[in-house]
Amino acid sequence: MVKSQTLVLDRTFAALSDPTRRALLARLDEEDSVSISELARPFPVSLPAIMKHLDVLEDAGLITREKTGRTVNCQLIAQPMQEAVAWLNRYERFWNKQLDRLTAFVERDQPPTKKARKK
Amino acid sequence: MVKSQTLVLDRTFAALSDPTRRALLARLDEEDSVSISELARPFPVSLPAIMKHLDVLEDAGLITREKTGRTVNCQLIAQPMQEAVAWLNRYERFWNKQLDRLTAFVERDQPPTKKARKK
């Protein structure tokens, strides 16, 4: 894996590790463009704290900020999340294997079904 | 979202934000159970540093450690990663929308194809 891809994953996962930042992304998923003051309103933290979270999200490439007059609007960029999913999906095979084992364990301990008894 | 689920996501994403920890998980994906000394061997960092990374992974529920005699073996648990993917997949619709916009933009600027001209 090239160094820049590694860095994208480092920053994306670090950005997503905070519940306020995940909530900010969820808000931006509802609407195309949201002003910073609107974004900050529902959170019980100060505006400078929200600005710091937005800095982390912007550094991770998860949002963009655009100034229109005196208003700064934020927009979601989903691309880094897509890369995070691609990385995680290599383990899909692994959790399916764990599920198969669990199914096999449960089936082994179950009394045979009517159909199975007929055989 | 209940508080415990939030905590699972916080810890999972934080654990995945480090390239050494991701590499440790990738190693555990290759083999069912790996001893700590084997796990640490390819990394150019000290054993105590690897132990700290394993603590973070264990706190996030991504690995288990089992002592057999004098050897401690680690195993991968994929469940928290599955929850992380479930959280990220709600943005799938969003990145598909961004792709649709890009496709529409490219198609609009393309000269019509032979088939389209015949109409």
Report the C-alpha gap between B53 and A24 in whole angstroms. 29
pLDDT (average), residues A25-30: 92
CA B51 to each of CA A16, B45, B77: distance values in angstroms, whole numbers, following the listed order = 24, 10, 17
pLDDT at position B22: 96
Report the C-alpha gap between B53 and B49 in whole angstroms. 6
Q: Closest Cα to residue A87, out of B6, B86, B7, B81?
A: B81
pLDDT at position A47: 94
pLDDT at A94 over 90: no
Confidence of residue A99 (pLDDT cuts 50, 70, 90): low
A90 neighbourhood in chain B, CB within 8 Å: 26, 29
pLDDT at B119 over 60: no
Weakest mean pLDDT among A14-18, A95-99, B61-65: A95-99
Residue-wise pLDDT for B44-82, tens only, equals 999 999 999 999 999 999 999 999 999 999 999 988 999
Identity of the residue in A11, A19, A78 whose CB atom sits nearest the CB atom of B91: A78
Determine how many CB atoms are found less than 10 A away from the CB of residue A91. Answer: 22
A9 neighbourhood in chain B, CB within 8 Å: 16-17, 19, 22
Q: Is B27 helix (H, G, I), strand (E, B) or coil?
A: helix
ipTM > 0.85 (yes/no): no
Report the C-alpha gap between B56 and B14 in whole angstroms. 9
What residue spans define the domains of chain B? 3-81
**Cβ of A62 under 8 Å from any chain B Cβ?**
no
Q: Closest Cα to residue B9, out of B90, B95, B86?
A: B86
The CATH architecture annotation of domain B3-81 reads Orthogonal Bundle (1.10)
Strand arrangement, sheet containing A71-76: A34-35, A71-76, A63-68
Helical packing angle, B3-16 and A19-30, nearest 10°:
100
Are A14 and B10 inside 8 Å of each other by CB? no
Q: Choosing among B10, B16, B98, which should be mutated to test the A contact, i.e. which has the most A CBs within 10 A?
A: B16
pLDDT at position B102: 66
Confidence of residue B28 (pLDDT cuts 50, 70, 90): very high
Task: Return the number of CB contacts < 8 Å for A and B.
Answer: 80
What residue in A sits closest to B60 (Cα-Cα)?
Answer: A17
pLDDT at position B91: 83
